[in-house]
Amino acid sequence: MASETSESSEKPLLRSRLLAARAALSAESRADAADSLARHGVELAELAEASTVAAYVSVGREPGTRALLDALHARGVRVLLPVLLPDNDLDWASYEGPEHPERLAKAGRGLLEPVGPRLGPEAVCAADAVLLPGLAVDGRGMRLGRGGGSYDRVLARLARAGKDPALVVLLYADEVVARVPEEPHDHPVHAVVTPAGVTRFRTA
């Protein structure tokens, strides 16, 4: 129990440091990173071979996902985007592409969400790959999230359904760290995409 408490108390400190580093990034560096993420992401076999990808719309200083979403959509990939529910769980709806920007609407917490028909929280179980937001990943593939717990629920739902999609996190290059504090509910990802390229994890 003491070890678990220590691990959980380390997470807020690491989150603060990583968020401060993101806040210092220039608009130009963020735009360059988003272009690189899209280029490397569409070449990732787990995404290139997927028919359905559960993703998310980046906001603020997050590594940009819009170019990657558009590239996947242009390839005919069905892209599902999350809709935050009042209990922090996630519903899902289809991304309709850059030709329909009005189909993404501002929501709570600064998020952009699709306005199309809701498909239900179980819709993520149809995904061949899931793009997870995060703040860091370590050499074991352990991901540090924002702490809201929404994607912990997604991963638990996939496990209950017996689904094993490719789990991919998009980060800036310096967010691949030596170690991420780990708790029992944490789950390793299969790969990380950064502007520098792709790293896969054998432990996932």
Which residue ranges make up the annotated binding site? 11-15, 57, 62, 143-151
Q: Which residues pair with 27 in a beta bridge?
A: none
* Residue 172 burial (CB count, 10 A): 22
Query: Residues comprising the binding site for substrate?
Result: 57, 62
Closest by Cα among 175, 174, 193 to 136: 175
Alpha-carbon distance 122 to 157, whole Å? 7
Please enumerate, by residue number, every residue annotated as part of a binding site for ATP.
11-15, 143-151
What does each C-alpha distance from 15 to 25, 32, 129, 161, 199 come to in angstroms? Answer: 16, 23, 25, 31, 22
Q: Which residues contact 116 (CB under 8 A, 6 or more apart)?
A: 93, 94, 96, 103
Name which of 161, 158, 203 is nearest 182 in CA terms. 203
Using the structure block, give the residue that is written with the tokens 């929404």. Answer: 150
Cβ-proximal residues to 129 (8 Å cutoff; 6+ apart), any chain: 46, 47, 50, 53, 54, 165, 166, 167, 168
